[in-house]
Amino acid sequence: MTSPLLPDGQTCLGVLGGGQLGRMFVHAAQTLGFRTVVLDPDADSPAGAAAHHHLRAPYLDADALAELASRCAAVTTEFENVPAAALQTLAASVPVAPAAAAVAICQDRFAEKRHFQRSEVPCAPFATIAADADLAAPGLDALLPGILKTTRLGYDGKGQVAVPSRQALADAWATLGRAPCVLEKRLALQRELSVIVARGADGALVHLPVQQNLHRDGILAVTQVPAPDVPKATARDAVTLAGRLAASMDYVGVLCVEFFLVDDGSLVANEMAPRPHNSGHYSVDACDLSQFDLQVRTLARLPLPAPRQHSAAVMLNLLGDLWQAGPGAPPRTPDWAAVLALPGVHLHLYGKTQPRPGRKMGHLTVTAADPARARAVALQAAACLGLPAF
Ligand code: ADP
Ligand code: MG
């Protein structure tokens, strides 16, 4: 294994993508004393504003990629839709983690499901819809009611349409622009979970505790850790499966695996993210190593001791809707003072200037000595902000 990158005041780590995940990566890297560079086309990017240097260029810009490689000792990504080709180009001249091949699997729902099957990890029954003939394939009835999902570029419930019946399928596919899709059976979910694992270049594997997630309108709304409604054995199984998925891709970096806990109590893998994940944000305030610390350490080939959660935590996502004052009215600032008066509240705002509905503007994590207290304070915070109870 190559020797570790040590923070000596000069060593620079790079990240492709300038969103909030990149911003928190930059914070973690800077805390350890690394310099940081962000490549993102957006002049107003949350990570670009925090990094030592912001390269403002498209992800496939050859000059920008060459400059990123020359400035950095290693490069990672914060955004799974960054073209795998950009990672491949970089890898010719600088260590890149995760590798382009692993990112390519996570970018494509079909490749991802094939990887689940290869790794003997259960996933929802599915079929591919990529041509007119596929609409008439026998066996689709067993997948209905289902959800049609574009194989690429979906996030936060975008690129998905419910398909209640066979008749609705062609229209649903047209709605999605006849892009290659997977039709997935809609499962009866008890709970949604996720697990974050970090795997080093030497194969060392550590994990964060299992998170329980509540989505609203396809977007993560609340994460609770420890997961209140998940049996310990199920949580252990989720960690085992996530570790197996990472190892079978020879993955280096932070990987998040989303699971469904279905009505019969079994676990079904939903999707993977080749990077830190919204459901792991609580780890910044509630664990002795956050998902971003783990991302820095895997990239720099530094040691990976097992993270420990020192506080119970509840994370609430703060979407742009909170800023909406009414039709035609200018955005208002939510009542942060009321929220910050509550004990154990850690407010994280990403520095985005345009609070569009559904846009992730920030999150808050409530930490407490026990889960009941964390939940009680999080419910108070939600009430202050006009968010629904959970
Ligand atoms: P995204 O990339 O937008 O996160 P997901 O595939 O994770 O897409 O779907 C978003 C949410 O939609 C999930 O967290 C879950 O609440 C719901 N969902 C997705 N697929 C299914 C399914 N097969 N059965 C039931 N619910 C689903
Ligand atoms: Mg998801």
The reported pLDDT for the residue numbered 193 is 98
* SS3 (DSSP) at 21: helix
The pLDDT of residue 373 is 98
Taking the centre of ligand 2 as the mean of its atom positions, its distance from the CA of residue 62, in whole angstroms, is: 31
Q: Is residue 80 part of a domain?
A: yes
User: What number does the ligand 1 atom closest to the CA of 189 have?
Assistant: 25
Q: 255, 272 in Cβ contact below 8 A?
A: yes
Last residue of a domain, one of 42, 77, 96: 96
User: Can you read off the two tokens belonging to residue 361?
Assistant: 């503007």
Successive 10-residue mean pLDDT values, the chain, 390 residues? 88 97 98 97 95 97 97 93 89 96 94 96 96 91 95 85 92 93 96 98 97 95 96 97 97 98 96 97 98 98 98 98 92 96 98 94 98 98 97
pLDDT in the model for residue 70: 98
Q: What is the DSSP letter of 19?
A: S
What is the atom index within ligand 1 of the atom nearest the CA of 159? 3
- Report the nearest-CA residue for atom 21 of ligand 1: 186
Identify the residues whose C-beta falls under 6 Å from ligand 1.
Answer: 124, 147, 149, 154-157, 184, 186-187, 189, 192, 215, 218, 258, 270-271
Contacts 24+ apart (CB under 8 A), 26-33: 26/50, 26/51, 27/292, 28/290, 28/292, 28/293, 28/295, 28/296, 29/296, 32/7, 32/293, 32/296, 32/300, 33/7, 33/8, 33/9
Which residues lie closer than 8 Å to 91 by C-beta, 6 or more apart? Answer: 99, 100
Substitution site in 270, 272, 279 for ligand 1 pocket (most atoms within 8 Å of beta carbon): 270
Nearest-ligand number for the alpha carbon of 219: 1
Same domain, 267 and 133: no
Asked if residue 223 and residue 201 are part of one domain, the reply reads yes
Residue 283 and residue 166 in one domain: no
Judge whether 214 lies within some domain: yes
* Residues 174 and 193 reside in one and the same domain: no
Quote the CA–CA distance of 46 and 21 in Å, as a whole number: 9
**157/277 same-domain check:** no
CATH of the domain at 231: 3.30.470.20
Pair 195, 340 in one domain? yes
Q: Do residue 166 and residue 199 come from a single domain? A: no
Q: Is residue 289, in this structure, part of any structural domain at all?
A: yes
CA of 155 to the centre of ligand 2 (A): 7
At residue 1, the pLDDT reads 52
Shortest-distance atom of ligand 1 to CA 156: 3
pLDDT digits (tens, 9 = 90+) for 202-227: 999 999 999 999 999 989 999 999 99
Closest ligand 1 atom number to CA of residue 186? 24
Question: Distance (Å, rounded) from C-alpha 4 to C-alpha 118?
Answer: 32
- For residue range 66-102, list pLDDT tens digits in order: 999 999 999 999 987 788 889 999 999 999 999 999 9
How far away, in angstroms, is 154 Cα from ligand 2 center? Answer: 9
Domain count, the chain: 3
Q: What distance in angstroms lies between residue 218's CA and the mean position of ligand 1's atoms?
A: 7
- Answer yes or no: is 216 within a domain: yes
Nearest residue (by CA) to ligand 1, atom 2, is: 155
